[in-house]
Structures are given as C-alpha cells and as structure tokens.
Amino acid sequence: MVTLDVRTLTVPVGIVRMLEVILSCISFSLVASVGHNSSSFWAWCMFTWCFCCFMTLLILITELTHLSEKVPISWDDFTTAFAMLATLMVLAASVIYPTYFTCSACSRQIAATAISCLCFVAYAVEVGLTRARPGEISSFLSTVPGLLKVLEAFVACIIFISLDPGRYSRFPGLQWCVAVYSLCFIFALLIILFTIGRLLSLFPFPFDRVLTCYNILAVMMYMTAVVIWPLYAFQKNPRPSGCNHCSWDSLVVVSFMTCVNLIVYIVDTVYSVRLVFFVTQA
C-alpha cells in the first residue's frame, strides 16, 4: 500500500521544487502561446522547460509516495545531479531565448525570460540545499567533484549543439578537438551513471585515484583543443559582414566553451589531487 508523506512537500527542498515546477511550466506555456519556431535553439529552450518541469514533478511524486526508497539507484545522487543539470539547462535557456527570440515589444517573450530566470534561481537554491557540506558523509554527486562532473558534461553538450559538421569535417585538427569533446563527455557521463547506479564498486582500482588520473588526462587533452580549435576554425575565415547569429558565431561559442571546460577540469583536478594526496594522507 502506498503511503503519502506530506512532510516532503513542506521542507525547504520540497517547497523549492514546487516553485520550480510552477515556474518552468509558466515559461513553457508563455513561449508555446507565442507559436512554433523551427530553430534548434527554440527547441532546446522548450525541451529544457518541459523536461525540468516533468522530472521535478516526478521527483516530488516519488518522494511523496516513498517510492524513492524502492528504486535501485542512489536517490540522493540522482536528485543532486538532476538539480545541477537543471540549473545549467535553465540558465542556458534564460540566455539563449532572449538573445534569439525577444524584442522590446515582445511582452510574452520578456515575461517568459523573467520567469525562466526565477526558475534558474530556484534550481540554484536547491543545489545549495542539497550540496554536501565539509565534513559531511554524503554521496559523490553531492560533493564539489561530483557537481563539477555534471558541469563538465553539460558544457560538452553546449559544444555539441554548436558544432558545424561542414566545418570540422574538412580539418583533421578540428576532428581531434571533436574527439576530445566526445571522449571526455563519455567518461564524465559514465562516472555520473555509475555513481547513480551504485556501480562504483565494479572499478578494479580505487575510484578516487582513477578519477584523478582521468582528470589529469582530460586537462591535457582540453589544453590541446583550446589551442587547435581557434587555430583551424578561424584560419582564413573572418566574420562575415552580414553575420547575425550565423554559423561563424557558433565557432566562437565552441572556442569559449572549450576554455570554460578546461578551467572546470583544472579546478576538478586540483580538488581531486588535494583529496587523494593530501587530505587522505592527513
């Protein structure tokens, strides 16, 4: 028999999640009322609000009915990873949508953007509420390295949707960069999935040392991409005079996000090395 625990809706995290559902639903509804757009960026924004609303509602129902205790995954890792992912997705939608689809006379678009920004704040508050504090015994994805893994995977997704196959397919250097983005994304995603699925015990070596070695390798690979991508992407390729959100701008986005992910991997590596070789020994 299913029992309802109303207290899950009255604690701070539950209240924040209900706000997230309402705000994401309002953003989705306002944009949908304007009309359909064939742009992939419009589809991304709509997917973000719909996906976040549905998943947050599912989490609320699952915890309300105590079904979270019966699922064969690490529930805390799952909810923390989703909150971090939703924060980044809504932030991206809050930036992309007004950039491409809002004007000074577009009242509903402006309202959707404002509501989306409030939704981002709500998800950021949830991350702050669920993140592990120093000294606490918690799941991996609730810690700083775990949250950084979600950030690394998300930045890679932004890079993927900005790639132009017609451009990188002509240059081996750019193909190497795409391979770097893909390999690092796959490994980051596997770490997240293994953590949520409670499969970390399958690693034949200590997980923290495997993670540190992977981070060091990822930093070196991204360092090459930071240099190679702009070198080949902008070689004899100046910005077109009539470019307004054209494919050339996507090359800039990839360059910028590559630098962002390099910084994130460096921070992750420093944090991992500190935990493995200094905190553990102490």
Domain ranges, ordered by start, for the chain:
1-130, 162-282
Question: Could you report the per-residue pLDDT of 1-20, keeping only the tens digit for each?
Answer: 567 777 888 888 999 999 99
Residue 2 has a pLDDT of 65
Can you say how many angstroms the Cα of residue 172 is from the centroid of all Cα atoms in its chain?
A: 28
Q: Read off the pLDDT band of 282 (50, 70, 90).
A: very low
Q: Which of 136-145, 183-192, 222-231, 273-282 has the lowest mean pLDDT?
A: 273-282
Report how far residue 273's alpha carbon sits from residue 4's, in angstroms, rounded to the nearest whole number.
Answer: 44
Comparing CA positions, the residue from 216, 232, 112 lying closest to residue 178 is: 232
Question: Can you tell me whether residue 211 is helix, strand or coil?
Answer: helix
Phi, psi of 122 (to 5 degrees): -65, -45
Report how far residue 133's alpha carbon sits from residue 70's, in angstroms, rounded to the nearest whole number.
Answer: 26
Comparing CA positions, the residue from 21, 14, 17 lying closest to residue 49 is: 21
Q: What is the CA radius of gyration of the chain?
A: 21
- The type of residue at 81 is A
CB atoms within 10 A of CB 149: 25
Question: Could you report the per-residue pLDDT of 194-212, keeping only the tens digit for each?
Answer: 888 877 777 777 777 888 8
pLDDT-above-90 percentage for the chain: 37
Q: Read off the pLDDT band of 139 (50, 70, 90).
A: low
Mean pLDDT over residues 239-250, rounded? 74
Q: What is the pTM of this model?
A: 0.79
